């Protein structure tokens, strides 16, 4: 059931993106998210898509594995699309296709629905590339290094990075545990695939309870293991592997900087997302 969930899973291989510094990849992801939200039309989103395709090619991760990460939020994308399709409102005149009371479907609503859905899709895909090409330990080191200035105000940077790393590390483990519990319940006659929403929700209770117990047991075992190894936080800790920037990181920054600059000019030249309607529909009088 959950075999296709790839978020938080590391894809081991040797590639241009895998060899980049984790701090650079985190900064580039933040800049990528800025570029996605900065794009104000479909031409800008097309430029983001080209950059994403280039990043996936350079990472040597199969496209199918990256696409499967969208399954986690497929319901959110569909739900958001439906809301924007039926309840989109604007102070401007609309190319109305169908209207009933307060529900209105227009060309503007369709364009807005497609634009927001594509934006959500690109956000998840870009985040998935980071987790697929960076180990949880490298992510921890990168986050801790980037948040180092916060140590001046006594912020627990190391503990925060450790919590995030453990959370990412246990996502695949919890998925495997969930699949095993579901298989065991099916062997006992449980039915998870028929009936309405309420029936399916009740059928998941025998899965959630043992999963919660297993998660608490894993957390306790992890705490005991850390105590047995005399873990005491960031105080006095050293690192075996030092993070260093390379030409790959500089090239990534230059390419993404060019992308953001290009999106700014595209927004100035092509206008907003609804300008595409002027290419196919006559202007409203």
Q: What is the pLDDT of residue 101?
A: 67
The pTM of the full predicted model, rounded to 2 decimals, is 0.77
Q: What is the pLDDT of residue 255?
A: 92
Residue with tokens 């350079």, as numbered in its chain:
58
Q: Could you give the CA distance from residue 103 to residue 190 in angstroms, rounded to a whole number?
A: 40
Q: What is the pLDDT of residue 280?
A: 56
Answer left, alpha or beta for residue 179, where phi above 0 means left and psi between -120 and 50 means alpha: alpha
CA gyration radius, the chain: 23
**Which residues of the chain are under the pLDDT cut of 50?**
1, 284-285
Q: What is the pLDDT of residue 284?
A: 47
Contact 4, 70 (CB under 8 A): no
Q: 264 Cβ partners below 8 Å, 6+ apart? A: 38
Q: What are phi and psi of 174, to 5 degrees?
A: -65, -35
CA angle 196, 198, 201 (to 5 degrees): 110
Q: Provide the CA 255 distance to its chain's centre, in angstroms.
A: 21
Q: Domain ranges in the chain?
A: 22-161+244-280
């Amino acid at each position: 059931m959950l075999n296709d969930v790839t978020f938080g899973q590391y894809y081991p291989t040797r590639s241009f993106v895998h060899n980049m510094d984790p701090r650079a990849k985190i900064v580039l992801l933040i800049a990528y998210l800025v570029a996605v939200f900065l794009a104000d039309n479909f031409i800008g989103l097309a430029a983001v898509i080209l950059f994403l395709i280039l990043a996936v090619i350079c990472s040597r991760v199969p496209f199918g594995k990256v696409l499967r990460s969208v399954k986690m939020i497929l319901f959110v994308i569909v739900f958001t699309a439906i809301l924007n399709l039926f309840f989109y409102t604007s102070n401007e005149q609309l190319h109305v296709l169908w209207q009933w009371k307060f529900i209105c479907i227009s060309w503007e609503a369709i364009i807005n629905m497609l634009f927001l859905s594509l934006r959500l899709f690109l956000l998840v895909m870009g985040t998935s590339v980071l987790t697929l090409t960076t180990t949880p330990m490298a992510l921890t080191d990168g986050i801790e290094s980037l948040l180092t200035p916060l140590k001046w105000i006594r912020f627990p940077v190391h503990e925060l990075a450790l919590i995030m790393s453990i959370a990412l590390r246990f996502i695949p483990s919890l998925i495997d545990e969930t699949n095993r519990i579901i298989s065991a319940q099916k062997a006992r006659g449980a039915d998870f695939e028929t009936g309405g929403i309420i029936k399916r929700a009740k059928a998941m209770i025998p899965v959630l309870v043992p999963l919660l117990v297993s998660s608490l047991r894993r957390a306790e075992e992890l705490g005991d293991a850390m105590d047995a190894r005399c873990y005491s936080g960031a105080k006095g800790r050293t690192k075996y592997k030092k993070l260093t920037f390379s030409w790959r990181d500089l090239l990534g920054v230059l390419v993404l900087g060019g992308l953001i600059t290009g999106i700014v000019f595209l927004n100035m030249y092509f206008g907003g997302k609804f300008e595409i309607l002027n290419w196919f529909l006559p202007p409203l009088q």
